[in-house]
Amino acid sequence: MRPIDRQGYRDLPRTFIAVPIKPPRKLFSLMEELGQLGRAVRPVVGDHLHLTLRFLGEVPVDLLAPIAEAIGLATADVSGFELQLSSLGVFPSAHRPHSVWVGVAANRTLADIVGRLGERLSQLNIPPDDRPWTGHITLARVKAKPPPALSELLASHRETLFGSVPVDVVHLMLSELRPEGPRYTVADAVKLTK
């Protein structure tokens, strides 16, 4: 594991495991549309797009290296693969959305990685997530009552296929919440090279 720049991070950094996402052209265009909906809707900065495999919350710094090793073990025999992105939705509901997301089509390889990560992390005494994992990529945060145009955009893209993205690396990420948005640092990167 490479040395971590801990400047600004506490002894218990917010941590998650994710796949970085480079948006296909169709999805990039949609994000530009989201950016034109006014101040209530704040699109995720392009290089922050990711598919979270597991949110770990605050973990002790001395667990970061074992977590990185667990990621390596969980993906040891996995080759790079592609994910299909489709459909647009919001959490928690269309009446009071807090985030806008694009879905990830069911993928056996991805499901296997998530399952193996859970097993490896439990060996580190990291409790399992209490909610079932659902593949989605957050595209925007909704900070206030959104304009009606957001509902129209959601309705027009409920079944849209946005294209595919390659998965060739899994990141261990540190997150620092700031007023202007989160700051992410890649603590470790595990390449899917087999």
Q: List pLDDT tens digits, range 40-83.
A: 999 998 788 999 999 999 999 899 999 999 999 999 999 999 99
The pair of three-digit structure tokens given for residue 66, joined into one six-digit string: 């074992």
3-state secondary structure (DSSP) of residue 117: helix
Average pLDDT of span 7-34: 86
Which helix (H) or strand (E) covers residue 61, if one does?
none
Confidence check: pLDDT of 132 > 90: no
pLDDT in tens, 107-117: 999 999 999 99
Pairing of strands 14-20, 169-176: antiparallel
**Is residue 136 annotated as a catalytic residue, yes or no?**
yes
Confidence check: pLDDT of 183 > 50: yes
**Is residue 157 annotated as a catalytic residue, yes or no?**
no
Active-site residue (options: 48, 95, 98, 136): 136
How far is Cα 67 from Cα 192, in angstroms, rounded to an integer?
16
Q: What is the pLDDT of residue 10?
A: 55
Ordered by where they begin, the domains of the chain are: 14-191 (3.90.1140.10)
Residue 92: cis peptide before it, omega within 30 degrees of 0:
yes
Active-site residue (options: 50, 95, 98, 157): 50
